Amino acid sequence: MKIKKITDIGTLDEVLKKPESILFKNSTRCPISSYARKEFEKFAEQKKVKIDLFMIEVVENRDVSMEFAGKTEIKHESPQVCYMKNGNVLWHESHMSITCDRLNELVKK
């Protein structure tokens, strides 16, 4: 599955209306984010993934990242991954807890 980047608030609003999605927040300046991004990309490459996947690069798109935190009432962290249904965050993890295996467990539920 392709990961689509969110670079503006209008696109973020569209994503928040999706029936089901996973959003990954990434810092291009952080080595922990680099590790988590590789895990998220590994998860995305699997053929069984049927959920829309999105990414916000928080340094380059801070306004979008902070808008997401405000609209979802989920404290901003980076890296961070959020599983959403109809704009509601049902599950989120950050830092080294973001793994391909953990994401696979999530989508099996």
Residue-level pLDDT at 1: 81
- Which class for 88: exposed (0-12), middle (13-18), buried (19 or more C-beta within 10 A)? exposed
Helical H segments across 31-99, by residue range: 31-44, 62-72
| CA gap 103, 93 in Å, rounded | 10
Res. 108 pLDDT band, cuts 50 70 90? confident
Closest CA to 56 of 90, 33, 85: 33
Number of domains in the chain: 1
| Domain hosting residue 58, numbered range | 3-108
Res. 61 pLDDT band, cuts 50 70 90? very high
What is the pTM (predicted TM-score) of this model?
Answer: 0.93
For residue 40, what is the domain's CATH number? 3.40.30.10
